[in-house]
Amino acid sequence: MQLHKKTTRIIAVVALLAVGSILNSSCDKSNPVRVLPEDVAGLYEFQQFIFIPDASALEPANLLDTLAVNNTNLRLLDGGQFTLNYQFLGGPEAIISGDFSVSSTEIRLQAAAGSEARLASLLLHSPLRLRRNIDLDKLEGSDTKTVDLSAYAERYAGVPPVRGRLIIELILQD
């Protein structure tokens, strides 16, 4: 009888240690919590979309000044797809679509094949990585590139392509 009680206690202790070990490993930084597309799904509106030239003599180019802001947004869908709707002032509405993946720190947009020219018109590329600011329901991106600013504003007419930094900020609306 004593042996049976000891064996039962040993088995109980081993079981508790095993459960504790499993719970502890799930909190380990190398095993982060899985984020699903539905966790970030929603409509995001552009708050900032600006190109800052490295050449200090040139003013930053606000791409939102060239877009119909009410028709320009990013929608992330529950199933891991996205649509980027945009419209240049005086132009037709356009859509870029594709798939996205999400982690605890970023969203990665992979546009569908054939979207390259539309992405380039917005100074974007695929895949596009946006950092997640969870506290503010915000997506942020920054990229260094060379841009022909004369395609976006007459004030840059005659200026050769310049290197600079593109800054994007989107805020969750719903």
Residues 70 and 89 in one domain: yes
What mean pLDDT do residues 128-144 have? 95
Q: Residue 133's pLDDT band (boundaries 50, 70, 90)?
A: very high
Residues 22 and 60 in one domain: no
Per residue in 42-78, pLDDT (tens digit) is 999 999 999 999 999 999 999 999 999 999 999 999 9
Residues 78 and 140 in one domain: yes
Which pLDDT does position 154 carry in this prediction?
Answer: 86
Residues 23 and 47 in one domain: no
Q: Which amino acid is at 144?
A: T
The pTM of the full predicted model, rounded to 2 decimals, is: 0.78
Number of domains the chain is built from: 2
Signed CA dihedral, 143, 119, 76, 110: sign only: negative
Residues 25 and 48 in one domain: no
Q: Residue 42: name the closest of 127, 139, 111 by CA.
A: 139
Per the CB < 8 A criterion, the answer to whether 59 and 50 are in contact is no
Residues 74 and 96 in one domain: yes
Per the CB < 8 A criterion, the answer to whether 170 and 63 are in contact is no
Per the CB < 8 A criterion, the answer to whether 122 and 129 are in contact is no
CATH number at residue 159: 2.40.128.280
Per the CB < 8 A criterion, the answer to whether 131 and 139 are in contact is yes
Residues 161 and 107 in one domain: yes
Asked if residue 127 has a cis previous peptide bond (ω within 30° of 0), the answer is: yes
Per residue in 1-41, pLDDT (tens digit) is 555 555 555 555 444 444 444 445 444 455 467 899 999 99
- CA distance linking residue 43 with residue 33, whole number of Å: 24
Rg (CA), the chain: 24
Which pLDDT does position 25 carry in this prediction?
Answer: 47
Domain that holds residue 1: 1-31
Does the pLDDT value for residue 121 go beyond 70? Answer: yes
What letter does residue 88 receive in the DSSP assignment?
B
Residues 51 and 25 in one domain: no
